[in-house]
Chain A
């Protein structure tokens, strides 16, 4: 286990390094001059030059990168090019919205996708199972933006049960209100992720049904349904866990669009705004944070998966 942990952590670190290089490189490919665009048309050459020095943009690219990377290790993401305020602090604040959103979305996704997937597998020959499968396929083709709008149209505008958008000004101090603002956004992401999870769970469960040990278990005295749940399911869960890491990518990513749609003050929405303002330092920090979260979750999921599967645990010895 330790060897695996070390190797996997190394891969995680490598991912972070590659990400940082790619992010930094892409943003520096900016055609034109950051200092110039910040100074605007009114800046004199001297002002622009001063701004450049002030921002450290006259140093060699490699040095700039190392400077930024070094800051990353200290969790110092620099200051906003537009407002000058520390990036790390703002990101931390926005995470207070984005992380709960992602978490709630994951819960919805699992609650919708996994049981439905097992059901679709157990009833694969009957109309009910087929219908579920088709439903999932359709849902997976739906753009999150549209689904979000449909949910708003239905639950907020027509039925009035939930807020159309926005986030309480006092944030989490009234958890009930905050959660109500998260329901529709989380449902939007959750339903789509759930559809993807459903198809995968169904696949894994069908595979489990075919397994000898499920049939052997039924031969001991239970119905096939029960055999699937008792013996097939843990193995289905293992397969689901293995794909969960990548699903979380979808969550984080979906958060970008959904936060915009529902005007939630989260990291994704801030990213969209900062891209528009060309606030490169902030964008760098935001992209890095999101990527790091994604990579980290991938690491955790892999480790958990390994812990859960007794076969893999043994390999170490």
Chain B
């Protein structure tokens, strides 16, 4: 699959382009915020509390006079950090488990399979709570919980993908011509399962952002010194009775970012599918493919981890 045509296919659809644009904006804001924000995000000024949006405060101020725009911008850094870290952890855990579950002796494979099916059922937030009880709340807890939680899902998806590709003829041909396992893995298996992983990665990141928002709200995520969209929601909650609509800003930031990641996942999946390259019907939302919402494979209700599976958005979206 040529890189250029893939990227073009990705950006061809409005959803894909919009998603990439928003994510680029968030990444940019996160990077810039390390050096500069319109005002100090943590500077409190009780006399400037609850100011409406103005030139000096693009999004207004909150209960203690903090500039919301600066805070939201600084918090984007936290979001990017959590998302990337969780995504990376999820991939590592997922691939590791999948490798254990595919390339080892039969006994190990079977036990890993059962283990994965059992672990899939555990909700991320409970894992986070357990970790928070042991180690105290922190962003690290969020990353580990989200990474482990989604990692298991990735493991399930990977195993079936690896099994599928391993049966393809070109793999047999490669082995027949003398290629070793590692070389087969690298040159044939990985490139063909790569799109699935990109999709899973974006979903993992989306889940982690929602998890961070929820956990920070509960007080077990970002600490008070770290800017976080979830924490801002928690801070604003107390004043819902008198200033109900300031919550729009951090909430919108979270929603748009998660949405962008989900849409990106959709777009990657569509762009990678050669059958769909030739112009999709405009306006149709494709039946979602890879998702964490697949039931335990041990039951007969096992949905195949590819196309027939349901909803795109992570079921643990309610962890937020």
Contact = CB atoms under 8 A, between A and B. Distances in A.
A123 B43 CA distance: 52
B265 to A, nearest CB: 11
A125 B287 CA distance: 14
Interface string A133-174: 110011011111110011011000110000010000000000
A222 interface: no
A283 B129 contact: yes
Given A140-B317, A143-B213, A14 B114 contact: yes
Contacts of A19: 122
B255 A142 contact: yes
Given A4-B300, A272-B129, A143 B320 contact: yes
A11 interface: yes
B88 interface: no
Interface in A271-317: 271-272, 274-276, 278, 280, 283, 287, 290-291, 294-295, 298, 301-302, 305-306, 312, 315
Nearest to B259: A141
Contacts of B38: none
B129 A141 contact: no
Interface residues of A, number: 88
B240 A145 contact: no
Is chain A's interface secondary structure helix, strand, loop, or mixed overall? Answer: helix
B177 interface: no
Interface stretch (A49-57, A90-98, A190-198): A190-198
Contact of A141 (B114, B131, B244, B317): B317
B126 interface: yes
B133 to A, nearest CB: 4
B318 interface: yes
Contacts of B308: 203, 207
B121 to A, nearest CB: 6
Given A125-B284, A130-B284, A253-B319, A204 B217 contact: no
B63 interface: no
Interface stretch (B51-59, B189-197, B291-299): B291-299
A191 to B, nearest CB: 10
Interface in A98-132: 124-125, 127, 130
B259 A138 contact: yes
B295 A243 contact: yes
A142 B315 contact: no
Contacts of A254: 318-319
B255 A302 contact: no
Nearest to A278: B133
A205 to B, nearest CB: 10
Nearest to B216: A145
A306 B295 CA distance: 13
Contacts of A315: 300
Contacts of B296: 11, 245, 298, 302
Contacts of A150: 247, 251
Interface in B232-273: 233, 236-237, 240-241, 244-245, 247, 250-251, 254-256, 258-259, 262-263
Interface residues of B, number: 71
Contacts of A141: 206, 255-256, 258-259, 262, 313, 317
Given A153-B240, A291-B126, A312-B300, A196 B133 contact: no
Interface string A174-210: 0000000000000001001101110110111011000
Given A153-B247, A242-B303, A302-B301, A124 B318 contact: no
A226 B115 CA distance: 43
B245 to A, nearest CB: 6
A296 B68 CA distance: 44
Contacts of B301: 241-242, 245, 301-302, 305-306
B316 A250 contact: yes
Contact of A15 (B121, B129, B254): B121
Contact of B254 (A143, A241, A271): A143
26 contacts: A18-B115, A30-B133, A30-B135, A125-B283, A130-B285, A144-B320, A146-B213, A146-B251, A146-B254, A146-B255, A153-B240, A153-B244, A153-B245, A199-B285, A199-B288, A200-B311, A246-B293, A249-B123, A250-B317, A256-B129, A257-B125, A278-B133, A283-B133, A287-B129, A291-B122, A298-B296
**The 3 nearest A-B residue pairs measured at CB:** A140-B313, A143-B320, A200-B310
Given A196-B313, A203-B288, A287-B130, 20 more contacts: A11-B298, A30-B135, A130-B283, A137-B285, A138-B255, A142-B251, A146-B251, A146-B254, A150-B251, A200-B288, A203-B308, A204-B310, A242-B303, A243-B295, A247-B315, A249-B121, A261-B217, A283-B129, A298-B296, A315-B300
